[in-house]
Chains A and B, each alone.
Chain A
Amino acid sequence: MKVIELINPSKILRVYCYTPISKPLNGSIPRSNTSHFLRLCPVEYTYKNGKEEKIAKTETYLIKGIRGAVRHQVMKLCHSHGLEVCHTSDKETDKHGNQLLPKGFHLIGSCKNTDECIIHQVFGSKRSTSLISVYADPITSINHATARISQNLQNVQIATEHRMVQSYDGNSIQDFGERYFSGEFYFEIDVTQCEKSQLGMLIEAIMNLHKLGGGFNSGYGHIRIQKFQLLYRSIARNPEWDGDGFIVKETVKEKVRKKEVLTSLKSWKEYLKESSKCN
């Protein structure tokens, strides 16, 4: 039967990182005092027990908040270069009169109709779509060394940290738990629609990325960037016909692009020069 390539090639920025302990949590489950990750569907996998093959299930979780972390890093980067860009807040002050908008930023989306800033172009706002999309493969914790999984999963250490707020005579009065993960992981940014200067800005921000999830001041959520790649990825979803129905088979081809990283960093520097001249 005819094989059809369905999806156009996309440009992916893949970032490999390491975290000793990180807590990008979703919230607590009802009737529980523990904050959890966003739980996804359980996945089946096979492993070898001697000569015998066994099937087991594992829980998978989503790493939240990567896009927010990248955005805040980009904001910091632009601010350090003297660019006035969009802040995440849409209000200047709160109801008590406290200032929400720091100096060197403008309200989110206020530049849309006049002189659109680079952050608004890339990340968008309420009624303008973002150029990029961030995604990380689900994480799981599998102890079997011989495990074979059909889906794309990232194996990390996942556990719960029990903490105490108040104690009396050695016994806890108030306690709570927080799930954390630790280990090497990767995430991907789809930059197909980005221009070179925008891509350069994202690359420079990612090289300085050091924060993910809550509790940064207490020592949690520190990230070390190990490696990043710019990939050209083409996905083909082939409906293989079999009688009345068909099975969708996915094949992925990837090519690493080295030169484009350097050219995009150059164009980002040129963009900075031009904007400094204008100011």
Chain B
Amino acid sequence: MQLILHGKFITPLITKRTTFKIKGCNTKFSQPRRRIYSKIHSTKPMFPYALICYLGEFELSYSYSSKNRANKKIHELLRIKSIGRYSSEGLGKIQWIKGELHPSSTRSENKKQRNSRRVRIRKGLPHNLPTKIQQLIRYALLHDFVHTPRHKSKIYIEPLFDDGEFITLLRQHHDNSNNVLIQTFQKYDRIAASITRKIRSPRTTRYNWYSTQNIDFIELCRNIKEVVPNIWKLYKYIYESKALTCISEALEYGHTSLRNHLLIIANLIVQDFQQNRIEVNLCSE
């Protein structure tokens, strides 16, 4: 069951986002009005601060199991006069308007599925992935660790996998091929590269601008080889690896990291699979 409270910010609330939390409850502005609050220091010769803030009507939602809990929460929330920064100067003043109690079934029916194109980097891969998608993700996560005609392995050493055919496919990831796996991978690789490659900053080594210490590439290669059979373990290893964050994805772009590049490709594939956007050819082949 869900409690929905409607209110209004009379004076602006200093926040960069239109979604925030009040006492642990999710809140969003229904019709946000953006303002900029400037603050002057009369005693200092300095430029005024400019702070982004929003005001207008908002909607707060809280899911509860019993009516007692809902009543307690209403008491707790209606006590609030103002929230946020500079509330002592009169900012973030709240006016509560009305509330609604929704039984869970009707609320969940009305809830729409969000199909945003924004990439979310997951902590781990979902469990229910078909074998073809698993293969594509494995291909994506390993593609930069092999020598190709265009570049050497980005960790300098090539881990020797048991699957010989798979390595030959990995070595062809820059080529014009009729293979559907390679074609689909190339699409995601380009998208991921366009996301991360923003500022051109050339480097002569694989260490990027954020790296502070030397990396043991032999150990890194050995560790990757151990987790190759299981894509969930492989993803987790890349996610937690500190060494891969210090390696640049492209020599021309020294601010990028190999970890982010690999994770973005994997997450783009998972996101498209969950939203039924991935090409059917790959699954049917």
Q: Is A133 on the interface with B (CB-CB < 8 A)?
A: yes
- Interface contact B90-A6, CB-CB below 8 Å: no
Asked whether B183 is an interface residue with its Cβ less than 8 Å from the other chain, the reply is no
Q: Whole-angstrom distance between the alpha carbons of A138 and B12 in the complex?
A: 12
Residue in B11, B96, B101 whose beta carbon sits within 8 Å of that of A62 in the complex: B11
A248 contacts partner chain B, Cβ-Cβ < 8 Å: yes
A41-B99 in contact (CB<8A): no
Q: With A6-B75, A248-B97 given, is the CB distance from A40 to B48 under 8 Å?
A: no
CB < 8 Å neighbour of A91 from B38, B44, B88, B101: B44
A38 proximity list for chain B (CB < 8 A): 12, 35, 37
Question: For residues 47 through 103 of chain A, which have their beta carbon under 8 Å from a beta carbon of chain B?
Answer: 62, 64-68, 72, 87-89, 91, 94, 100
A-B contact pairs, 7 of them (CB 8 A): A7-B79, A40-B55, A41-B8, A62-B90, A133-B87, A136-B90, A237-B79
Q: Are B55 and A134 closer than 8 Å at their CB atoms?
A: no
Give per-residue flags for B248-274: 1 if the beta carbon is below 8 A from chain A beta carbons, else 0.
000000000000000000000000000
Q: Is A27 an interface residue (CB 8 A)?
A: yes
The verdict on B132 contacting chain A, using a C-beta distance below 8 Å, is no
Q: Does B222 contact A (CB under 8 A)?
A: no
Decide if B89 touches A247 in the complex (CB within 8 Å): no
Minimum CB distance partner of A39 in chain B: B35
CB–CB A248/B96 < 8 A: yes
| Contact yes or no, A40 B100, CB < 8 A | no
A-to-B contact residues, CB < 8 Å: 4, 6-7, 26-27, 38-41, 62, 64-68, 72, 87-89, 91, 94, 100, 124, 129-130, 132-136, 138, 151, 237, 239, 244-248, 250
- Knowing A133-B90, A134-B90, A245-B101 are in contact, say whether A40-B43 is a contact too (CB < 8 A): no
Q: When chains A and B are docked, how far (Å) is the Cα of A245 from the Cα of B79?
A: 18
- Shortest Cβ distance from residue B58 to the other chain A in the assembled complex, whole angstroms: 12
Q: B242 interface residue, CB < 8 Å from A?
A: no
Contact A67 B89 (CB under 8 A): yes
Bound state CA distance, A136 and B56, in angstroms? 18
Residue pair B44, A94 in contact (C-beta under 8 Å): yes
Inter-chain contact A26/B38, CB cutoff 8 Å: yes
What B residues does A66 contact at CB under 8 A? 89-90
Contact (Cβ within 8 A) A4 B88:
no
**Smallest CB separation, B29 vs chain A (Å):** 11
Chain B binding surface, main DSSP class: strand
Q: Known contacts being A94-B45, A100-B43, A133-B90, is A244 close to B78, with CB within 8 Å? A: no
Q: For the complex, is B98 an interface residue (Cβ under 8 Å from A)?
A: yes
Cβ A27 vs Cβ B48 within 8 A: yes
* Closest-CB distance, B82 to chain A (whole angstroms): 7
| A27 and B99 form a contact (CB under 8 A) | no
A248/B79 in contact, CB under 8 A? no
Q: A-B pairs with the 10 shortest C-beta distances?
A: A135-B90, A245-B100, A248-B96, A133-B88, A130-B88, A27-B38, A237-B78, A89-B43, A247-B98, A67-B89
What residues of chain B lie closer than 8 Å to A91, measured between beta carbons? 44
Q: Which of chain A's residues have a CB closer than 8 A to the CB of B133?
A: none
> Are the CB atoms of A239 and B89 closer together than 8 Å?
no
A239 and B99 contact, Cβ closer than 8 Å, known pairs A27-B36, A39-B35: yes
- Report yes or no: A237 in contact with B96, Cβ–Cβ below 8 A: yes
Secondary structure of the A contact surface, majority rule = loop
- Do B78 and A248 touch (CB < 8 A)? yes
Contacts of B98 in A (CB 8 A): 245-248
A79 to B90 alpha-carbon distance, docked (Å): 27
CA separation between A38 and B48, bound complex, in Å?
14
Chain B residue with Cβ nearest A67: B89
Contact between B97 and A40 (Cβ–Cβ < 8 Å)? no
Minimum CB–CB distance from B99 to chain A (whole Å) comes to: 5
Q: Which residue of B lies closest to A214 (CB)?
A: B40
A71 to B48, CA, bound (A): 18
Q: What residue in chain B is nearest A28 (Cβ atoms)? A: B38
Contacts of A246 in B (CB 8 A): 98-99
The answer on a CB contact under 8 Å between A134 and B38 is no
**Contact between A26 and B37 (Cβ–Cβ < 8 Å)?**
yes
Closest residue on chain B to residue A244 by CB atoms: B101
A126 → chain B closest CB, angstroms: 12
Of the residues A6, A65, A67, A133, contact of B79 by C-beta under 8 Å:
A6
Residues of chain B in range 57-104 having any CB-CB distance to chain A below 8 Å: 74-75, 78-79, 81-82, 87-90, 93, 96-102
Check B101 against A4 for contact (C-beta < 8 Å).
no
Q: How far does the alpha carbon of A123 sit from the alpha carbon of B37 in the complex, in Å?
A: 20
Residue of A whose beta carbon sits closest to that of B5: A248
Distance to closest chain B CB from A123 (angstroms): 8
A72 contacts across to B, CB distance below 8 A: 42
**Chain B contacts of A39 at CB under 8 A?**
35
Question: How many Å from the CB of B13 to the closest CB on chain A?
Answer: 12
Q: Which residues of A have CB within 8 Å of B48?
A: 27
Beyond A41-B55, A246-B98, 20 additional contacts (C-beta under 8 Å) are: A6-B78, A38-B37, A40-B11, A41-B56, A65-B40, A66-B89, A89-B44, A91-B44, A124-B88, A130-B88, A132-B88, A133-B87, A133-B88, A136-B90, A138-B10, A138-B11, A239-B78, A244-B100, A246-B99, A248-B97
Q: Are the CB atoms of B90 and A68 closer together than 8 Å? A: no
Chain B, Cβ-Cβ closest to A237: B78
B222 to chain A, nearest CB (A): 48
